[in-house]
Amino acid sequence: MVKEDVRELFAETADHFGHEILALEIADDHIHLFVQTDPKHSPAEVARQFKSYSGKHLLERYPEIRESYFWGGGFWKVGYYVGTTGAVSEEVVERYIEETEHTPE
């Protein structure tokens, strides 16, 4: 299943780049990823690492996705949202991610 593969690929990406996934929720049309990383990595770089590695492998595993939906394009949309936790605790962010409505897996 694609959602399980996304979890696996995000875990591999985190391990490879030295990030720690604190929370991950996958909806049908977006992902909430709460990650702790070394400040040497910019938010744009972290987003690119997760999106490029997982997208490449998902399209290899599920070529029908590329053919049916993307006409040869990429898996992820170009944009992303980044927020920092300086003003709130990790627990608040984790609770938000867990309590946000998501389609059951």
Give the model confidence (pLDDT) of 57-105 as tens digits: 888 888 877 666 555 556 776 677 677 666 666 676 667 666 665 544 4
Q: Which two tokens stand for residue 10?
A: 């995000």
pTM: 0.71
Strands 31-36 and 20-26: antiparallel
Encode 35-69: b = buried (16+ Cβ within 10 Å), e = exposed.
bebeeebeeeebbebbbebbeebbbeeeeeebeee
Count of domains for the chain: 1
Residue 7 pLDDT: 94
* Joined tokens for residue 14: 């985190």
**Residues 6-32 pLDDT 10s:** 999 999 999 999 999 988 888 877 888
CATH code at position 55: 3.30.70.1290
